[in-house]
Structure 1
C-alpha cells in the first residue's frame, strides 16, 4: 500500500495537479483501492469539522490584514523607510528586502503575502541600482520565509490547532529565532557583497534628514504588531480575536493615509477570498487524507516502524529532518504539516522533546521547503512578480540563504533553551 501511495503521489506531482486536488485524489484512490469501508462518505462531515474550528478564523483575517497594508501603500512606505536606514550597507537594498520582510511578516502571518508584497515593492529598484538579479530576488524569496516564523504566523496557528499546543507560547518561541534568522540572511548578503562588490549595486545616497523624515513610515507595522501581540499577552483577546483587531487597526491606518475606499476594500477582500479558498481546500483535503490513512492503519504502521528502528531521540529528530527535506522538494509546507505533524509529534514528545520547541523546528523546516527547488512555493510567487527570465535564476539566488536556514536549524537543535526562553517568561 505504501509503495502504491508514494507512486501515485509522485505521479500527480509530476503532471502538475494542484496540491489540494492531489491530496483528495490520493485519499479517494487509497479508499477505493484498499479500504473495506466506504470512507468517502465521511468527506462532508470531515470538511465541516476541519474548516469550522474557531482558531482557523484568524487565517483569512491575517491574509486580509496583509492585503489592506499592501493596497493602502503602507508596505511601500515601510520599504522606503527601511531603505533609508540600512541601504548604506554592502548589498544595499537587499538588506532592505530582509528588513521589510521581517516587518511585514510581523503583521501578515503569511509567507506568500510577505514575498508577493515585497517583490512588488522592490522590483523597480533592481535595475535602478544595478544589483545582481539572482541574488536580489533570492533575498526577496528568503525574506518571504520569515512570514511563517515571526508571529503572528498562520503556520504556528495550524501547528497549535493540530497538536493542541498554546498558540501564544508558540508566538513567543518564534520571536528570537526569527530575529536571528533575519540576521543570518543579512550576514550572507554582507559576506557575498564584500567578496563580490559588483553584486551589491550602486551605493545609495541618503542623509540624516531623510532618515528622520522616514521614521513615521516605520510606525504602522509596529502599531499593528503591538495591537495583535499585545492584546494576546495582556489577556484582552484570543489569537483569533487579535487578528480581527489587527484588521481594524489596518483599516484605521488606511483611513489616516486617505486610502480607505470601497474599491480598495473590495480588492483586498477579493485577494483574501482567493488565498483563503486555496488554503482551506488544502486543509480539508489533507484532513480527509489523514482520516483515510489512519482508518486503514497506515499511521499505526508508520509509528510501529519508527519505534522498531530503536532510534535515539537525536536519531529520531535527524530522521524527521531528512523526511522534511525530501518532502519539501515536492510538497508545499501547509499540506506537509497537516499530513505529518499529527503522526510525528506524539513520537517526538514521547522521546522527551518539548512540543513548543518541536513546533518551531517544524516551521523552520517548512521555511526551507518554501525556497527549496523544484517546488518551492515562494520561488514561483517571486517569479510571477518578476515575469521574465527563468525560475532557475531564483533557484541559484536562494542557495546562500538555504545555508543560513541550515545554520539556524542546527542552532535550534543544539540550543533548545534559546527557543523556550521567552515562553518560559510567559509561564
Structure 2
C-alpha cells in the first residue's frame, strides 16, 4: 500500500508539471500524514538546516562560479579557437573541437549545463557557416556537455558522495579514465560517421604549425586551473570545498590576466551562479527531507525486502538497476533522479559487495545518457535554446550515436571495473 501510494503520487505530480522540488515536499507531507505515527514535519527545520549548512555542498556554487567566469571572461572562446586549429584537419573537423573544448571545460566547471551552453554558444554559429550537418553537429555539443558531470571536478559526483557517504576525492580520481575514454570514443564516432557520410563533416580546414603552437598558450589557463583544483585536493592541502574556493580565486586571476575581468562580468557571473545554485539546493533540501520521511515510515526497508524476495543473483540485480535508471532517465530530470534514488540504491549495491566508488561512476554514466535522451534530456534543451532554429527533434536525432557510445561505456564498466578503480587504488596503495 505504502509503495503503491508513493509511486502513484510521484507520477501524478510529475505528470501535471509541478516543479520537482515541490513534488518531493508534497510527497513527503502526504507520506507523513498517511503513514507516520508522530508528525515528521516537526523534524523539518532540523533537516533543512543540516542540509543547507553542509560544508561539502559549499563546493557546488563555487564550481558553478568557475564555469561562469571562464565563459563570460572569454577564456572559453580562446580554448575553442586553439583546439579548432589542432583538430579541424580530421574528418568531422570542428566537431572534434566541440568534444575537446567540452573535455577541458569539464575539468574546471563540474556542470553539464554550463559546458553545453558554453560550447554551444561558441560553436553553433561556426557550424552553420562551414556547412556541417546541423543535427549531428548539435548532437556532438549535447554529448560533449555530458562530460561535465564525469570528468573531475563534478557537481554530480559531489552530490553522489554526499548522499552515499563515499569519498569525493576517490570519486574524482575514478572519473578520470572513464571521462577521457568517453571523450575519445565520441571523437572516434565522429571520425567514423564523417568518413561514412563526408558531407556531414562540413568544410575541413588545417592550420600551419606556427599557428597551432601560438594557440597552445590559450590552453594554459585551463590547465593551470585544473592543476590548482585537483593538485590542492590530492596534494593534501585542501578539501574539495576548499579546492573549489582556490579554483574560484584562480579563475578570477586568470580572467584579469586575459583582460576579461570587469564589474559587469562579475555581476553577470554571480547572477548566473545564484540562479543555478538556488535550483540545485532547493531540490537537495526537498530530497533530503523526503529521504528522511521514506526511511522513517519504513518504505526504504520495504523496498529492500521486496528486492531480496525476488531472489535475483548479484549480476541480475545490477542489470535490473541499470535498466531502472535507463527507463527513469527518459522521464525524470537527472538531478532529481539521483537525489531520490541514491539513498536507497547505493546501500543495496554496497550490501551486494559492489564498490561504492565504482557504482558512483557507473551511475554518472547512466545519468549522462539521461541528459541526452528525450523527452526530459536537459542538454538537448540547452543546445536547442542556444541554437534558436530548427526543432528539438534534430538535436535528439544527432545525439543518438553518442547515447549508444555511453551504453557501451556502461558495459565496459560492468565487465572491467578497473577502468574506474585503477587510479583510486593506485593513489591509495
TM-score, with structure 2 as normaliser: 0.97
**Cα distance in 1, alignment partners of residues 19 and 185 from structure 2:** 33
Aligned to 1:15: 16
> Bigger shift: 189-198 or 70-79?
189-198
Offset of 1:209 from its aligned partner?
Answer: 1.9
Q: Which runs of 5+ in 2 are unaligned?
A: none
1:233 aligns with 2:234: yes
**Cα distance in 1, alignment partners of residues 276 and 409 from structure 2:** 29
**Cα distance in 1, alignment partners of residues 139 and 379 from structure 2:** 10
Offset of 1:369 from its aligned partner?
Answer: 1.1
Q: How does 1:30-179 map to 2 (within 5 A)?
A: 30-179=31-180
Q: How does 1:12-411 map to 2 (within 5 A)?
A: 12-411=13-412
Count of matched residue positions in the alignment of Structure 1 and Structure 2:
427
> Bigger shift: 12-21 or 401-410?
12-21
Give the secondary structure class of the aligned counterpart of 2:203: coil
**Cα distance in 2, alignment partners of residues 26 and 376 from structure 1:** 24
Give the secondary structure class of the aligned counterpart of 1:53: coil
Conserved? CA contact 1:13–1:330, under 8 Å: no
Conserved? CA contact 1:138–1:398, under 8 Å: yes
**Cα distance in 2, alignment partners of residues 194 and 163 from structure 1:** 43
Give the secondary structure class of the aligned counterpart of 1:388: coil
**RMSD over equivalenced CA pairs, Å:** 1.2
Please list the CA deviations of residues 310-335 of structure 1 after superposition, one character each: whole Å capped at 9, or x if unmatched: 21111111011011111111112222
Offset of 1:376 from its aligned partner?
Answer: 0.6
**Cα distance in 2, alignment partners of residues 81 and 319 from structure 1:** 44
Offset of 1:24 from its aligned partner?
Answer: 1.8
**Cα distance in 1, alignment partners of residues 30 and 77 from structure 2:** 47
**Cα distance in 1, alignment partners of residues 159 and 240 from structure 2:** 12
Please list the CA deviations of residues 370-404 of structure 1 after superposition, one character each: whole Å capped at 9, or x if unmatched: 11111011111111111222211111111000000
Question: Runs of at least 4 residues of structure 1 off by over 4 A?
Answer: none
Offset of 1:301 from its aligned partner?
Answer: 0.5
Conserved? CA contact 1:193–1:199, under 8 Å: yes
**Cα distance in 1, alignment partners of residues 175 and 30 from structure 2:** 38
Offset of 1:139 from its aligned partner?
Answer: 0.4
Offset of 1:32 from its aligned partner?
Answer: 2.9
